[in-house]
Each structure stands twice: as structure tokens, then as C-alpha cells.
């Protein structure tokens, strides 16, 4: 795909990794619709096209593609992360995490495919899809489900729409965390390098331009996924 002149929707595109992807797309000549929930000021500072939607609401998910208008690229970046082990994984908490991390990308991809038969989707996963981390059970399952959705929709929507994914490792401390001790908390990284949001954006843009790739997952984690649970 030649990016110049294309139009993209980036969910959660105003802050953190989403902001880096938005800015990388804009630098490549893409007009970006920035989705946000709370970060209105940041979204409007980045783009003239900023749309508010609550991805925990199925109704908002159904409307988001319509509000965004015609697009060539969908980046499913927005996610919800909580540290819930089994005991805390009540049906309500699990549904909330699945809605944002899995059901919203599914609905957005479905509606994207309804409006066009050409384009590309990139889903944001997590290196935990190659590990079993019981400390964030709903999140881990939802991201593993999104990997399977990536593969299934890649088959379903070929050859016109390509669907790929990027699986980041530890990038930034959670919002509100000062970052003290982040490297220790993030665990072992074989390359002894922590990727940046810009590294994630580079991988996303590669997948958008790689017309021969679909159903692929690129890990941008310094090799951490190779360790499985040994992190």
C-alpha cells in the first residue's frame, strides 16, 4: 500500500503508542482520524479529525466507523489493562475487558469491511500472547483472542483487505506510574533494549506497506516473547 493520500482511523490515537502511530502515519502523508475517549485536547491537537467514542459501549463501537467517514486503514490500538487474577475475574470485569480489547476490534473490522473491499487493518496485541500470565487473566485472554481474530479475518477478507498485528513488549509504565523501577518490573529482555512507541509505529507502517503480508504478527519486544513465562 502506498500511504500517501490515504485516510486512517487510529483508536486510542491521541496518547502513548497511539500517538506515535498517528504521527508516523501523518509523516507518511496519511490523513488520520484520531479516536479518543477522554483525551480530547490531545486528539484535537494532533488532527482536525478527532472523534469521541466509548469502546466499552457496543453502540459507540457500531457508530465509530460511520463517524470516522471513509477510511483506507484501521488501526485497532485502544485497549484496557487491569491486573485481575482468577479470583477477581468476575463476569462483569471480564466482559468489560473483552469488550474493549476484542469485541470492539471485531466490530470495527466488520464495519470497515462493509464500507470498502480494499485496505488494511493492524491490531495491537501484547507479547503476553506467547506466555501465560495469571496476574492479568482477562487481559491476556482477550489479547490471545485478538491474535486469533487477526488470523481469521486475514483469511476472511483476503485478497482485498489485509489484516496484521504488532505485539509490543514493555514500552511505558502504566498511566499515573512514575516509572521508578520500570525496567525491573518489566522483566528480562534478551536484547537489553526496551522498545519505544516509535518502534511500534515503525512496525505498524511496515505492515501497512507490505502488500505481501497478511495474518502476520510482528513482536517488537527485544525478544522477550522467546522467554515465554520465564520473564
For the annotated catalytic residues, the residue numbers are 139
Using CB atoms within 10 Å of the CB of residue 217, give its burial: 0 to 12 exposed, 13 to 18 middle, 19+ buried: middle
Nearest CA among 74, 58, 62, 42 for reference residue 150:
74
Q: How far is it, in rounded angstroms, from Cα 137 to Cα 105?
A: 19
Q: How far is it, in rounded angstroms, from Cα 105 to Cα 111?
A: 10
DSSP code, position 57: S
Measuring CA to CA, how many Å separate 134 from each of 85, 89, 229?
6, 11, 10
Task: Find out whether 189 and 8 touch, Cβ atoms under 8 Å.
Answer: no
Amino acid at each position: 500500500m502506498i500511504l500517501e493520500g490515504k485516510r486512517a482511523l487510529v483508536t486510542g490515537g491521541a496518547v502513548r503508542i497511539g500517538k506515535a502511530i498517528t504521527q508516523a502515519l501523518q509523516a507518511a502523508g496519511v490523513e488520520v482520524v484520531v479516536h479518543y475517549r477522554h483525551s480530547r485536547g490531545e486528539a484535537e491537537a494532533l488532527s482536525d479529525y478527532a472523534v469521541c467514542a466509548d469502546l466499552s459501549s457496543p453502540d459507540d463501537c457500531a457508530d465509530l466507523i460511520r463517524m470516522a467517514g471513509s477510511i483506507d486503514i484501521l488501526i485497532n490500538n485502544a485497549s484496557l489493562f487491569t491486573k485481575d487474577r482468577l479470583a477477581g475475574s468476575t463476569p462483569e470485569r471480564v466482559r468489560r475487558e473483552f469488550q474493549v480489547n476484542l469485541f470492539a476490534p471485531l466490530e470495527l473490522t466488520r464495519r470497515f469491511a462493509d464500507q470498502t473491499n480494499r485496505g488494511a487493518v493492524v491490531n495491537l496485541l501484547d507479547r503476553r500472547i506467547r506466555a501465560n500470565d495469571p496476574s492479568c487473566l482477562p487481559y491476556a485472554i482477550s489479547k490471545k483472542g485478538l491474535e486469533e481474530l487477526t488470523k481469521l479475518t486475514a483469511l476472511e477478507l483476503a485478497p482485498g483487505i489485509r489484516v496484521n498485528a504488532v505485539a509490543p513488549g514493555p514500552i511505558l509504565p502504566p498511566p499515573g506510574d512514575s516509572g521508578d523501577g520500570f525496567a525491573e518490573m518489566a522483566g528480562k529482555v534478551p536484547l537489553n533494549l526496551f522498545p519505544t512507541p516509535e518502534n511500534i509505529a515503525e512496525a505498524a507502517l511496515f505492515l501497512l506497506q507490505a502488500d505481501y503480508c497478511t495474518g502476520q504478527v510482528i513482536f517488537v519486544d527485544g525478544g522477550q516473547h522467546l522467554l515465554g513465562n520465564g520473564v
